[in-house]
Structure 1
Amino acid sequence: MTKGEASQVKVHYKGSDEDFILFIDDLDTYKKWKGDKSTPMAHFISAFKIFVTHKQGAQGQMNGASKSTLENEFGTSNEEEVIQKILESGSIQETEFPGRQGPKNDAQQGSIITGQVSR
């Protein structure tokens, strides 16, 4: 991976009322965990935070999931239990962010012209 490039991996779980998202730091370790639960989840989870996208799929605006939302969907508000369910049943969404290729706004490359005000 070259400087500036990054990838973001999230696990998307489509619930009955909400779409849930978890962020993963280490995809390979996550895949190993799916076959061998002895690996601690802390080794591959970005943060023990569950997000909801308000039924907008994996790309919607994200907010933290409330305990009542977790309770309604999973029958528990215990975040570790919910995270495990999402990791087991969710689908992987991987996004690549390419490295920067110079300025993003070409209009800023031109020279600035200043005008004089005549009285």
Structure 2
Amino acid sequence: MVYCDVSGRETRLPLCIEGEGIEPQLRLSFEQLDIGKVFVGSTNIYEVILFNKGAVDASFILVHPTTALASCFTFVPREGTISPDGLQVIKISFSSNILGKFKKAFKFRMKGSPEFVTLTI
């Protein structure tokens, strides 16, 4: 509630103001990464870019799943803040002793937003 002092009035006038905050708007350079066939035990490195398309700073953190396959991936950095129109390169390292095909989703949570940015590998 805000009050306005008006010349000639003895009491202030109440003024009710409502507003809506701007959510961060992070986007990935791509939403799916096909790593193809890789050798068991080898280490492979990939990059994805996280862009801030919003008008406010966007803080992010990787919500890393706790599965055996997810432990084969390392993300650097796992968290940070990106300024408006800025970007952050995320390096992804993958090394596994598990054979077979897989599909795994990794989610980045944005502070101040209920939505996630998802990368599927």
Q: TM-score, normalised by structure 1?
A: 0.22
Q: Rg: which structure is higher?
A: 2
Structure 2 length normalisation: TM-score? 0.22
Structure with the greater relative contact order (CA < 8 A, sep ≥ 6): 1 or 2? Answer: 1
**Structure with greater strand percent:** 2
